[in-house]
Structure 1
Amino acid sequence: MASTQTLKKFSSIEELQKFLGQSIVTRERLASALQESGTFYGGGAPPPSFLEKSPSGMGATLGSGPSAASPQADKSAVAPTVGPGYSTTNVQVANVDEPDFLKNDGKYVYILSGDKITILDAYPAENASIIIKAGIDIPQGQTLQNMFLNKDRLVIFYQDYSQDYVIPQYDYVPQPIYSPKTHIVVMDVSDKHDPKIVHDFKLSGNYNNARMIGDYAYLVTNSDLYDYNRPIVPYVMESSRLVARPDIYYFDNPEQSYSFTTVTSVNIFGQATDNSTIVSKSFLMDPSSTIYASENNLYITYQKYMPYNYYQSNSRDRFFNVILPLFPQSIQNEVKAINNDDTLSPSQKWDKTSSLLEDYYNHLPESEKTQLFDKIAKALADYDAQIQRDTQKTIIHKIAIGKNGTIDYISKGEVPGRLLNQFSMDEDGSKFRVATTSEYFSQYRNYRYNNVYVLDQNLKTIGSLEQIAPDEQIYSARFMGDRLYLVTFKQVDPFFVIDLSADQPKVLGKLKLPGFSNYLHPYDQTHIIGIGRETNENQFGGVQQQGVKVALFDVSNVENPVAIDTYTIGGIGTDSEVLNDHKALLFDKGKNILSLPITIAQYGEPVPLPAEGDGKASSDGSNASSGGAGSTAPDIMPPRPYPNFWRGFYVLGIDPQHGFTLKGTVEHFKSSSDSNGFYPQYGIQGSRSFYIDSVLYTVSINGMIKMNSLDQIDHEINSIDLGASGGVINYEKPMATEGNSSTLNSTSEK
């Protein structure tokens, strides 16, 4: 197959099958050639073959489903009501919402837990109560993952596994397979006591991530082909109705493995009978990983791996490009003559070559042979390290997302290294900026360093800064306008300020201090908040992580950033969800509040064994002593102590001149080391905090919501136990018939 970087579209299932069939033939031919030459082939057999039995059956024309209609903006959305000020989900990009299990609108709070949704009347806090708690009929063992809130609509995502029957390759009995499906449930919550399901779309594949821009939700899913000869292509269903069969796009350059990455847009206020409510397109590529979204573009990324045939085909290149040039010219000429002899098979060529080399070795003094082998080993190590560097890259796909839900592929690019998370990427005007860590290995050393790349609107690299902080890796990154703030770590925390005002990035300044930051958050244009861990050096010279550390950096002098203050919470055994999930953070400069969920588990002093002569009885009633000649060890072993356990929120104030002050803590759970069953129950996915007006609302993983005054944190206004409130009756899923919307059956609390 001739390889290009041009995006193409399959016109039919048959064309897709032909493309995949050619990729199988290419692999099999390579395997045969390598086996004939005696080269080890570890690529494995093609993926197991399955026959499909689904709405996306063979012979269908791709893109022929209802999704072919152009989406139109819906005019029925109602403007939001004016009310008290309130905080929303902490997101990366303004006006680009991210899904979460908790949302609020300044009056009502919506929380997902397990298969249930809870709606609370949260304001005013003094009268806060649960309005309804309803179960959604999802398969046992699955959970509602997260959601968007847009005016009086919720968009809820969850995943299940549908059973299909297929006949495995060379078998005759149909066998069940379980393929993942992602659900998009659009719920009308204009009547809080009687929510209604408007849509329940079912898409092929695993949920990857989603974003909401305006009145459209954008979802990325990944799905396997299952069988290269008869692939199961993506589709969108609602009840028994086929809503869309996405067009499938591809590049004809080979990939390590193929799967479908599908991008779907949903008009949140679309009508049940409007085919433009949902638009979906699929791309044949490696499975998508981290995504980034601006208001205009969606960026899908994944790590590029070694080609499946790399180690087999590369053995020949290594021999001719690295090993052979280290031999005398006469040996090189003889080997090349053997290789150019078309009358010899590959195995015969290698037999003659190996005999030639063995004869050369036998005439070498042992010292020269050892020297030659060492020289070859080092050259191969350098060669392999360079190959790793050149092939370990991040692939980036850019897709334009229109205001009316359109999805248009723009371009493809790649950069060396791997991403840490979504904050390693940023769009600024027509430019796209990326921070990566490169890491590869050789026999003699390990290589690790960090990079920053600037790409143009077509994802072509126009600027780069490489080899930042050798032997360290990125722990956090934050792009702010024409600056990048970067934290790397190995023994101490280098905080870098990088200039991005021109195409070529450059380091302006850096600061080193103990510990590291997992997450960076802007305070204002000249101050950055870092949240991570304190560290110290242990007795072996290594690094030991301590408590959760919050740092305030002053970057007004970019060449000399300064740590204004640090605040450390707890020690070993202290954790915060913010270190792994930015949505767990509440920060509001105007309210002067930084709220962090904190968990502390600390063990007390060990329980001592009974001392000699202390009169304590052993299990048999006798007085046993410990230590000393002839003494008998007690047969009562000391109990393993429970840790002192605390869960709640630390609420800090921030002064850019002086640093942090503790405004108070909100305790959600506490137990002492002598408690039995000290671990708290888990009721929801995580911990969140938000404010409405002058009240701080904190929600903990054990299913408790507390309301405290922002002016006096230790003043609790109200609390609700989410786990113990309300009954649940599962509702029946809606039928996809015109004008029909289903009602949730539930228990309400007035």
Structure 2
Amino acid sequence: MDDKFLRDRIRDDEVDVPESLLPENISKKLDAGADNTKKQGVKTLSRNIRSIALAAAAVIVVAAGASMVSRLSPKNTSGSNEDMYEYEKMLETTTEETTGVTAGMEMTIYDELYEKLIGRNYIDDGYYIRNDSDITGSAETGAGHYDSAVNENVRNDITTDTASGSESKDFSKNNDQEEGVSEGNIFITDGKYLYVMKKPDDVYVGTRSVSICAVDGGALDESSRIQLDKLAGYEYVDYNTMYVDGNVLVITGYAYSRYAYEPGCISFGMFYDISDKEAPKYINMVTQSGYYVSSRITDGVLYLISHYTPDYSCSEGEYESYIPMYDGMLAGEHNIYCPEYVNDRSYTVIGSVVLKNPMSYKDTEAVVLSSDNMYVSENAIYFLSYQPYMWYGYEIINDVENDELQTDGVQSEGITGYETEKSRSRLMKFSTENGNIEYAGETEVCGSADSQFSFSEYNGYIRIVTTTYDYTYYEPSCGLYIFDSDLKLVGSIEDIANGETVKSSRFLGNMAYFVTFRNTDPLFVVDMSDPADPVIVDELKLPGFSEYLHPYGEGKMLGLGYEADESNGRVSNVKMSMFDISDPYDISEENRLQLEAYYSGALYEHRAILVDAQRNLIGFSTEENIIEADETGANIVGKLAQIYRLYRYDDNDGFVELIECVLDVYSYDYPRAVYIGDYLYIFDGVESIYTYELNDYSLIGVTEF
């Protein structure tokens, strides 16, 4: 294919192509090496530009239609974007009938979002390549648009100060990842009361409630019960978690009518004044579009995060079908952010509520992003979203091939680029100071994260451990990346543990500990004292792997996970390990214990794990088959049981079991435990609390709700 061929096809098809897009002019512009002006946070990948430009010109020849508008916008180029967009702008004037936008009519941000997420510009492989400015900026909030400033129903009688009373100072805290960032739970204590979210066996059908129970010497007395019923207009409702912040009780959840990810699904936060524990008072409920993802409370502010999927069958102008809503009103135009490259047509929806005034949202932000993982620090929320592979030249090759035009040179270069490319994710940051949610930047990072524990913010840096796959052999490797507060890459280590994946991570100050796995369990230690030059200082290989790591006092790290066969990697029983990390340059496994249990759901829900090094208590539930007599006592039968286990740790004796509590019901939320003084309370996750004396570990009684 040469320039003459392209000119002939353009002439024959009578396509009026701007002079700047003729092949020779594109080549000149590329040779000039003009800088590519990019929005902050979007990584530039410039490859094979000359061949790509010729292929792009070929696409103009063979397509010449509105359906190719998006594909003509380069994902990455070292030339100027303006000329590459001229052809798109020309096509826009010929496609008004398909877009429904009248010539000369100013598009609102809502209309523009329709074009980008639902209309003609969305391409099949999952990417919309933008051809104009970001959907950001400000706009006046009109009628029916959510603006927290107009909601001024202020409650001044609510206090989030710690409730007074004779509560014990010796009680367990929630197992939160970061100090000062509460993650909520279904079983909480403030040292005087137990707060219990009761769920039936079928979490979607049945009565739910929150009980507030006074405790006295191991005895429980239910002070009050809050009945949690269905929400009007919704067939199903699920209550996920709750928080107690002084005299405010917060309950979060979601409701829907057919399926959880439907466009009409909402997430909510309910607020109760519990100054009088015997008579809680309902204050307010806030709602936002989408399926519940998570929530946090930091410095007296609730952050509610949901995932909203628009109705893709809607028509333009039906804003309520594809724009997120807060309290039944459309998100303000100035509170919607669309990144430069879109790989999903859904939103991550964020709302903040000040607990001292929960009558409305403090701030809102909806971002066109489907997040795979999130991490919350005291002043920021980070989202990590997997990015499907799309090398610009490779996509153009597909267009040419579809029209049976052959460009062997470009094709071979595209395949080479594909073979060397690795999986990537977009990291996006929102600052949350004082409840104000502000976009703070984005960047790319190789790979994807295992969990929220793969992230850590420390001294102005965000550190991430990831697993990366190449796209040819799907072979994994691991890496650690350090970004500054502006998400600029400062330092990294790549190609760690080739062939293995990250199973668990923990950051302690300047040290990172993470476990990878294929057949064995290497525990890596990285010194990040110099963020620009992180260094692997030790590696410990063991059978199996740890799914969860938790610091245990001075110089020790607890690992909970599974044993595995070193020859083939086959996973077997649950195991506990205690690592000596007193010298990060020479770590070792002090003790390990293999359990009879084959599974523990608590390893994937850290809030169901009790770890208190000061009291020397480690508690979590396991699942295993047990043998017992049937109801008649005549036959021996096996059944699946959840068992809550409590341990202490001794340097010489290792893990010592203190309590084995076989629970009568099965909970998909996993049993939890808290202690107050010398008593341990085990909640089965459904309807009962088992009370144990911690002096002799005897069962005192069982309370049903």
Q: Normalising TM by the smaller chain, what interval?
A: 0.7 to 0.9
* Correspondence for 2:250 among 141, 155, 166: 155
What is the identity, as a one-letter code, of the residue corresponding to 1:203? Q
Is residue 2:359 matched to residue 1:264?
no
The one of 471, 491, 499 equivalent to 2:519 is 491
After superposition, give the CA deviation of every residue in 1:306-331 in whole Å (9 maximum; x if it has no partner): 359886424479x9xxxxxxxxxxxx
Cα–Cα, structure 1 residues 18 and 86, in superposed 2: closer, same or farther, change >3 Å? same
CA distance in 1, matches of 2:462, 2:395: 36
Aligned to 1:699: 683
- CA drift of 1:298 comes to 1.4
**Aligned CA distance change for structure 1 residues 422 and 23 (closer, same or farther; 3 Å):** closer
The answer to whether the Cα contact below 8 Å between 1:234 and 1:246 also exists between their aligned partners in 2 is no
3-state SS in 2 of match to 1:643: strand
Q: Which amino acid aligns with 1:384?
A: Y
Is 1:500 the counterpart of 2:528? The answer is: yes
1:92-139 per-residue CA deviation (whole Å, 9 max, x = no partner) reads 000110022222211221222254223242421443133334422214
C-alpha distance in 2 between matches for 1:721 and 1:159? 26
Partner amino acid for 2:437? Answer: I
Contact 2:182–2:296 (8 Å) recurs in 1: yes
Question: What residue in structure 1 maps to residue 373 of structure 2?
Answer: 290
User: Does the 8 Å CA contact 1:222/1:261 hold for their aligned counterparts?
Assistant: yes
Aligned to 2:325: 235
Note the alpha carbon deviations across 1:644-697, whole angstroms, 9 max, x for none: 544322211123x3362324223233xxxxxxxxxx544673210110011111
Summarize the Cα distance change of 1:566–1:92 in structure 2 as closer, same or farther, 3 Å threshold.
same
Q: Distance in 1 between matches of 2:512 and 2:639?
A: 40
Return the alpha-carbon distance in structure 1 between the equivalents of residues 606 and 336 of structure 2: 33
Q: Within 1, Cα distance between the matches of 2:310 and 2:40?
A: 22
Equivalent residue of 2:602, what SS?
helix
1:624 aligns to what? none
The answer for the alignment partner of 1:650 in structure 2 is 645
SS class of match (1:651): strand
Which secondary structure does the structure 1 equivalent of 2:396 belong to? Answer: helix
* Counterpart amino acid of residue 296 in structure 1: N
Please report the TM-score for the alignment, with normalisation by the length of structure 2.
0.73
Give the Å deviation of 1:462: 0.8
**Whole-angstrom distance in 2 between the partners of 1:210 and 1:25:** 32
Distance in 1, Cα, partners of 2:605 & 2:127: 39
Give the direction of change, closer, same or farther, for the CA distance of 1:440–1:712 in structure 2 (3 Å limit). Answer: same
Distance 1:178 1:460 in 2: 36
Q: Which amino acid aligns with 2:604?
A: N
Q: Secondary structure at the match of 1:410?
A: strand
The answer to whether the 8 A contact 1:21-1:228 is kept is no
Secondary structure at the aligned position of 1:142 is classed as strand
Q: CA deviation at 1:382?
A: 4.9
Aligned residues of 1:695 and 1:710 also touching (Cα < 8 A): yes
* Structure 2 CA distance for aligned equivalents of residues 576 and 252 of structure 1: 39
The equivalent of 1:279 in structure 2 is 362
For 2:431, the equivalent position in structure 1 comes to 400
Superposed, which structure 2 residues align to 1:32-431 within 5 Å? 43=125, 61=142, 65-68=146-149, 76-77=158-159, 78-81=161-164, 83-84=167-168, 85-112=170-197, 113=199, 114=203, 115-138=207-230, 139-161=234-256, 179-226=264-311, 227=314, 229-230=316-317, 231=319, 232-237=322-327, 245=332, 247-251=334-338, 253-270=340-357, 272=359, 277-307=360-390, 312-315=395-398, 350=406, 382-387=416-421, 389=422, 392-403=423-434, 405-431=435-461
Equivalent-residue separation in structure 2 for 1:395 and 1:711 (angstroms): 51
Could you tell me which of 652, 658, 662 is aligned with 1:664?
658
1:97 aligned partner, one-letter code: S
Amino acid at match of 1:306: Y
Instruction: Answer whether contact 1:162 1:181 (CA < 8 A) is retained.
Output: no
Paired residue for 1:719? 702
1:174 aligned partner: none
CA distance in 2, matches of 1:402, 1:309: 38
Q: 1:437 aligns with which of 467, 472, 489?
A: 467
**What RMSD in Å do the two structures reach over aligned CA positions?**
3.6
CA–CA distance in 1 between the matches of 2:219 and 2:646? 24
Amino acid at match of 1:545: V
- Equivalent residue number for residue 549 of structure 2: 520
Structure 2 stretches lacking a partner, 5+ long: 1-35, 43-105, 129-138, 629-634
Aligned residue in 1 for 2:108: 14
Tell me which amino acid in the other structure corresponds to 2:582. S
Give the letter aligned to residue 701 of structure 2: N
Question: Which of the residues 432, 442, 448 maps onto 2:476?
Answer: 448
For the residue of structure 1 that corresponds to 2:475, the secondary structure is strand
Offset from partner CA, 1:427-454 (integer Å, 9 cap, x none) = 0011000000001342xx4421000000
Q: Is the Cα contact below 8 Å between 2:600 and 2:623 reproduced in 1? A: yes
Structure-1 residue corresponding to 2:611: 587
Contact 1:497–1:507 (Cα < 8 Å) also in 2:
yes
Return the match for 2:692 from 708, 730, 742: 708
Q: CA deviation at 1:26?
A: 6.8
Deviates more, 1:178-187 or 1:468-477: 178-187
TM-fit CA distance, 1:214: 2.2
CA shift for structure 1 position 548: 1.2
Q: How does 1:582-661 map to 2 (within 5 A)?
A: 582-601=606-625, 642-655=637-650, 657-658=651-652, 660-661=654-655
Contact persistence 2:194–2:215 (CA under 8 A): no
Q: Distance in 1 between matches of 2:142 and 2:391?
A: 31
Q: Structure 1 residues 314, 192: CA separation in 2 closer, same or farther (over 3 Å shift)? A: farther
- Residues 3 and 252, structure 1, Cα contact 8 Å, conserved in 2: no
With over 3 angstroms needed to count, the CA separation of the structure-2 counterparts of 1:502 and 1:292, relative to structure 1, is same
Is the alpha carbon distance of 1:285 and 1:651 closer, same or farther for their aligned partners in structure 2, counting shifts above 3 Å? same
Alpha-carbon distance, 1:510 to partner: 0.8
Q: Residue 548 of structure 1: SS of its match in structure 2?
A: strand
Shift of 1:561: 1.1
Aligned pairs for 1:530-549 within 5 A: 530-536=559-565, 541-549=567-575
CA distance in 1, matches of 2:683, 2:555: 31
Q: Is the 8 A contact 2:155 2:356 kept in 1?
A: no
Asked whether the 8 Å contact 2:213–2:224 carries over to 1, the reply is no
Query: Would the aligned equivalents of 1:436 and 1:451 in 2 still touch at CA under 8 Å?
Result: yes
Alignment partner of 1:143: what SS? strand
Distance in 2 separating the partners of 1:213 and 1:498: 29
- Alpha carbons 1:526, 1:556 under 8 Å: kept: yes
Partner Cα separation in structure 2 for residue 98 and residue 602 of structure 1: 33
Q: Distance in 2 between matches of 1:716 and 1:100?
A: 24
Instruction: Give the Å deviation of 1:251.
Output: 4.4
- Identify the residue that residue 499 of structure 2 maps to in structure 1: 471
Q: Cα distance, 1:19 vs. partner?
A: 5.2
- For structure 1, the residue ranges without an aligned partner over 5 or more in a row are 32-41, 47-57, 164-176, 320-345, 358-375, 605-639, 670-679, 723-750
Aligned in 2, Cα 1:433/1:294: closer, same or farther, shift over 3 Å? same
Counterpart of 1:325?
none
**Residues 210 and 228 of structure 2 are in contact (CA less than 8 Å); yes or no, is this contact kept in structure 1?**
no
1:174-228 deviation digits (Å, cap 9, x = unpaired):
xxx8511112111122233322210011211121111101211111122123248
Q: Within 2, Cα distance between the matches of 1:44 and 1:70?
A: 38
Larger Rg: 1
Q: Which has the higher contact order (CA 8 A, sep 6+)?
A: 1
Matched positions, count: 568
Q: Is the 8 A contact 2:478 2:494 kept in 1?
A: yes
Tell me how far apart the structure 2 counterparts of residues 223 and 424 of structure 1 sit (CA, whole Å).
25
Residues 650 and 665 of structure 1 are in contact (CA less than 8 Å); yes or no, is this contact kept in structure 2? yes
- Counting aligned pairs with the same residue, the percent is 22
Give the letter aligned to residue 313 of structure 1. I
Letter in 2 for 1:685: D
